[in-house]
Structure 1
């Protein structure tokens, strides 16, 4: 499970257009800091009635066994929340994380438990892992398909 909260409803994945824009933005800002032939950003996102989740991984596209650097960020949603505002500050938090990641060549500060912080006056939750989210989503799909058969 990628989300921070338990949900009764299935996730709605963020539109490909949004994920592509975020990926292009990250490449324009950080592309000079890594070999684009070897590395790329992967962007995932989903919404639930009470949560939005954005996940960005820097993956090694030449080595499937290399663990990515993955930043997960989540924020609560309610009927008064403006989704575009939430997405803007979540994307900004992704930038803040990758600023610090690329600034320190010895960076190695992973933690798999959700942390809460105030970011630009908004409460967010984040964690930094080595998870390959693309593989996690594929495994979830296989399990879901298998459950439909049985």
Structure 2
């Protein structure tokens, strides 16, 4: 997902004469925030509530989508936990198997690790926007966007 390029487009359209100073600052904000968005999407894809997220519960697990969170869980898993994770992506994965895989992701610390990365990426974006040569109004909106991206609901 890209947050950087839409920001660039808006900046160039609004103030083409300031592109040289705005684009690097917006990249320093948009790149880590785009990564945080993708990682949050991975969490939602594995744990999200269909009614809230608009995605089926465990959809990414049912599809076997290779995500950093799943890779970390596999890396940290015991043999028994690895057997549970071996069911990820298999046709006909049951709700019980999805719940078991979710539990392994939690128990291995993979979810906590990913949450820490999301927080760190968001902090980087917030630090970048704090010193960006933009209006206070724009800064407030971009701070709000960063908070939304990092904590959007499951």
TM-score (norm 2): 0.25
Higher strand share: 1
TM-score (norm 1): 0.25
Greater relative contact order (Cα < 8 A, sep 6+)? 2
